[in-house]
């Protein structure tokens, strides 16, 4: 198996920075690459500040932030950065053409043994790798945000990835520290949109779009809609603003192309996207974020549109599809990955004795929304998924 010492991270925004920091903490040599010096400098400064904070908290027995940062290099030139790379992690924007260009340049310049990994949250690893002459060495390595706090890393097989490359990726990811406990490495056996965690949660967005559009048509306010959510979790509209309306819009279009047209963004989300009302990042989305995270006023009353039983049934159905398609072989992996990647209890275990009831809930939802994607899949209907622990 390839001995990984030198890591190159390409695209050091939010995610690339996180991956680079934990790799430095694990003792790897890391080169940060982005398109402009100012972006690389910003990432370097951000990582350095994070390391100093951890040092002050006594997190580095016997070592200093400076010891780790001594192994960190900066570059804006992929070709030269890749010359002695053992592993590359790509975390550039979620755009297939940009990713392909990056992979091509890496392939042309990296040593033959170097593994090329993408942190894409939705896209096909096989397609990204298709531009290279080392498709056996192209894998997915999907981190969750923030990398230092979320334990999950999905390591993904493209159609042509070798076992050796995937195992090397898993071994590497397992060495990366996480402040919230041991890393959970989910082996994703097949390349499918959204892999495991994002795939299971994705179709909830179809329901959310339905609810957003219905609330608007009925003249309900977003505050009322959010009051339908139970306390504790981030309510639907606040969460959509937090994730970013543009991220939702692009993701939904990708799933619409690859999974079902039912994923197409709804009227509300499309209008917000077109008007540049993108949520927390622009200061305005469903809510005004100029004074920080909004808290819906309970006194506004409820819209009585969003029903929690539906997302639960939707996620169970999608978990069964993940098993049916051979993306994972155990329902426990679905639950564990969701907890480690999103701090969200998985839909599988609580439903071990509930398949029949959930099939009814899903049929009711098809009737209500007209969205065929919610039809219960064969594995759920048969109840046989329960045996796939």
Instruction: Fill in the DSSP letter of residue 224.
Output: H
Please tell me the distance from the alpha carbon of residue 44 to that of residue 73, in angstroms, as a whole number. Answer: 9
Is residue 113 within 8 Å of 134, Cβ to Cβ?
no
Choose, by CB under 6 A, the member of 26, 69, 98, 342 that binds ligand NAI: 98
Strands 184-188 and 152-157 turn out to be: parallel
Q: Which of 92, 72, 81 is nearest to 21 (CA)?
A: 72
Compute how many residues bind ligand NAI; rule: CB under 6 A. 23
Residue 91 in the binding site for ligand NAI (CB under 6 A): yes
Is residue 167 within 8 Å of 1, Cβ to Cβ?
yes
Choose, by CB under 6 A, the member of 2, 7, 10, 196 that binds ligand NAI: 10
Please tell me the distance from the alpha carbon of residue 74 to that of residue 76, in angstroms, as a whole number. Answer: 7
Choose, by CB under 6 A, the member of 11, 158, 203, 319 that binds ligand NAI: 11
Choose, by CB under 6 A, the member of 48, 55, 94, 216 that binds ligand NAI: 94
Interaction residues for ligand NAI, span 263-292 (CB under 6 A): none
Q: Which is nearer to ligand NAI, 11 or 203 (CB)?
A: 11
Beta bridge partners of residue 288, listed in sequence order: 284
Interaction residues for ligand NAI, span 17-76 (CB under 6 A): 33-35, 39
Choose, by CB under 6 A, the member of 21, 29, 119, 224 that binds ligand NAI: 119
Choose, by CB under 6 A, the member of 92, 141, 312, 314 that binds ligand NAI: 92
Instruction: Report the residue closest to ligand NAI, judged by CB.
Output: 13
Q: Going residue by residue from 131 to 170, which x/- string records binding to ligand NAI, judged by CB under 6 A?
A: ------------xxx-------------------------
Is the link from the previous residue into 146 a cis peptide, with omega within 30 of 0?
yes
Q: With the CA atoms of 197, 202, 204 and 209 taken in that order, what torsion angle do they form, in degrees rounded to the nearest 10? A: 150
Please tell me the distance from the alpha carbon of residue 196 to that of residue 248, in angstroms, as a whole number. Answer: 17
The separation between the first and the last C-alpha atoms of the chain, rounded to the nearest angstrom, is 30
The span of 57-65, 79-87, 89-97, 260-268 binding ligand NAI (CB under 6 A) equals 89-97
Residue ranges that bind ligand NAI, judged by CB under 6 A: 10-16, 33-35, 39, 91-94, 98, 102, 119-121, 143-145
């Amino acid at each position: 198996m390839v001995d990984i010492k030198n890591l190159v991270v390409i695209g050091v925004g939010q995610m690339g920075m996180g991956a680079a920091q934990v790799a430095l903490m694990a003792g790897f040599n890391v080169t940060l690459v982005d398109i402009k010096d100012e972006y690389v400098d910003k990432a370097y400064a951000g990582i350095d500040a994070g390391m100093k904070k951890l040092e002050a908290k006594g997190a580095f027995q016997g070592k200093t932030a400076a010891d780790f940062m001594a192994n960190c290099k900066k570059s804006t030139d992929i070709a030269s950065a890749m010359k002695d790379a053992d592993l590359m992690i790509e975390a550039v924007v979620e755009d297939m053409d940009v990713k392909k260009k990056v992979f091509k340049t890496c392939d042309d310049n990296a040593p033959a043994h170097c593994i090329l990994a993408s942190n894409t949250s939705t896209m096909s690893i096989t397609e990204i790798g298709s531009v290279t002459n080392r498709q056996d060495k192209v894998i997915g390595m999907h981190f969750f945000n923030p990398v230092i706090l979320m334990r999950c890393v999905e390591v993904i097989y493209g159609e042509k990835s070798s076992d050796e490359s995937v195992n090397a990726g898993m071994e590497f990811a397992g060495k990366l520290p996480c402040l919230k406990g041991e890393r959970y490495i989910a082996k994703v056996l097949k390349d499918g949109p959204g892999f495991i965690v994002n795939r299971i949660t994705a179709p909830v967005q179809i329901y959310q779009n339905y609810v957003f559009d219905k609330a608007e048509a009925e003249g309900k306010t977003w505050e009322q809609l959010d009051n339908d959510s139970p306390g504790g979790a981030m309510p639907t509209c606040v969460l959509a603003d937090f994730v970013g309306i543009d991220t939702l819009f692009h993701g939904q279009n990708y799933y619409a192309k690859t999974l079902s047209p039912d994923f197409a963004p709804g009227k509300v989300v499309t209008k917000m996207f077109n008007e540049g009302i993108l949520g927390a990042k622009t200061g305005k989305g469903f809510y005004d974020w100029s004074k920080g995270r909004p808290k819906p006023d309970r006194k506004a009353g409820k819209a009585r549109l969003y029903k929690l039983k539906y997302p639960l049934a939707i996620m169970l159905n999608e978990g069964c599809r993940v098993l049916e398609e051979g993306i994972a072989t155990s329902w426990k992996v679905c639950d564990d990955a969701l907890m480690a990647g999103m701090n969200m209890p998985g839909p599988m275990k609580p439903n071990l004795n509930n398949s029949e009831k959930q099939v009814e809930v899903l049929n009711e939802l098809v009737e209500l929304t007209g969205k065929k994607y919610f039809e219960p899949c064969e594995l759920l209907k048969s109840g046989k998924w329960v045996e796939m622990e």
